[in-house]
Amino acid sequence: MTIHTQQFDNSLFNGSVSVNTNLFIDGEFVDPLERHDIEVTDPTTGRVITTIAAGGKKDIDRAVEAAQKAAQTTWGKNVSGTQRSHLLFKLGELMEKHSDELAALEALDSGKQYVNIKTMDLANAINTVKYYAGWADKLGGKTIETDPTKFVYTIHEPIGVVGGIIPWNFPLMTASWKLGPALATGNCVVLKPSEVTPLAALKLAELIQEAGFPPGVVNVVPGLGSVAGQALAEHLDVGKVSFTGSTLTGRKIMQSSGNSNLKRITLELGGKTPNIIFDDADIEQAVRWTFAGFTFHAGQMCTAGTRIYIQEGVYDKVMEQLVAAAKASANPGTGFDLTPQLDPVVSQTQLDRVLGYISSGKDQGAKIAVGGGRLGKEGYFIEPTLFTDVKPDMKIVKEEIFGPVGVVIKFKTEEEVLRAATDSTYGLSACIYTKDVDRVARFVSALETGNVYVNVVSMPDYRVPTGGYKQSGFGKDLGEYALEGYTNVKAVTINHGQKL
């Protein structure tokens, strides 16, 4: 058993935090059956923090077996909604109690700002867990009137074993999106965190153990997506997979489902959010939200507003302010700095990918208005970058970059910008800045996207469903709507009078 302890000595977090870096299966931290370790790196420095045990196919098998046993004996139909509610709420309380440690670990392996994690990501995760704790004892079916001689009703039953595969950009938050509704509805979970940012999820496993969940109800198995993730997606005893990540991987999970047991799937995939600023917008606020929309967490968000459409009457003014904001924020630092700093991208691989897109934009004739390069020699920092003079068929316009890179397009009419905004294979979110309520109504109806934000940037709320259209996936996370994806509906007909 390997325990990693990290010492902190700064004004934001003083002291140490420890995390068990082995697999969490059947209520215990265990060694993988076939030892394989993965290095975890601090993106602000590029230096290795620690190594973690990586789960393989055999480890996924035993995690699923533990979950299946728990579903049949100590969880699922054997536990009341009140008991599930109590344990989920206790987990939320423990997350709150250990928020400093959780935030520190996520800042360490993701490079994100500790303050932002604690006040935004972790706050969302805690609220999500407590929200679904509130749902656990309020789930029910319906009675359906059919015939006077029959009594018909529906039951919502847990699916059984759910696989949750979460990305590296928001580990704690997306873990709560999977665990909350799955556990509230009586399912057991095998959670596969990204091998790039696994530390907070492993700490969360300790809190799940402390909260008193029966062994096997939640299992946490970090590992490579091509190994552990694929094994989970193909497993014949997994009834559902909820995945957040790339469209390419989402396709592979669908194929695995079709080639195995037709397990149910929720996919929250990539995006290329249009961010539309009209002449009548509150320009100061529109600029602030727009800048945050493509640079927060170095643009590593599926809802990042990277296609920026500006109406011609305010184009020059908005561009001037966006460029100034980009120059002022090009300030790399650690996740524990007191003043706001630019986040790095998460890895060398991601750095190379984003810089490759920037090179592609230059090669295809786009003009760089600001940024365009790497910041510093240490860590994985990229300057906030804006391209102008772009064409619709350019890679930087069409494809998800997942870095602090936006493309800016001037438009004249509503019809023009609506055609451009919907010309995408993605449909996750859209942002509009205007004071015209009639225009808002028209665009909300016409935009082909799962979420529309008006005069605010894309941001999740645990009470509000999120999910995409087109190649941004299907199914919903968050809110009451997410619960629908974690139960099987059984219809029961009782004949109390009809005779043959």
424-462 burial, b at 16+ Cβ within 10 Å, e below that, comes to bebbbbbbbbbeeeebbeebeebbebbbbbeeebbbbeb
Beta strands in 21-136 (DSSP E): 23-25, 28-30, 37-42, 47-53
Could you confirm whether 399 is annotated as catalytic?
A: no
Residue 260: is it exposed, middle or buried by C-beta count within 10 angstroms (0-12/13-18/19+)? middle
Render 305-337 in DSSP notation, one character per residue.
--EEEEEGGGHHHHHHHHHHHHHHH--B--TT-
320 is known as an active-site residue: no
Distance between CA atoms of residues 374 and 288, nearest Å = 23
Which amino acid makes up residue 184? A
**Distance from C-alpha of 391 to C-alpha of 372, rounded to nearest angstrom:** 18
**How many angstroms separate the CA atoms of 145 and 386, rounded?**
59
Strands 150-158 and 143-144: antiparallel
Q: Which two tokens mark 289? A: 């939200």
Cα separation, 475 vs 466, in Å, equals 9
- Active-site entry in 302, 383, 400, 431: 302
Choosing from 65, 206, 234, 268, the catalytic residue is 268
Helix locations, 389-476, DSSP H: 395-398, 414-422, 437-446
3-state secondary structure (DSSP) of residue 69 = helix
Catalytic site positions? 268, 302
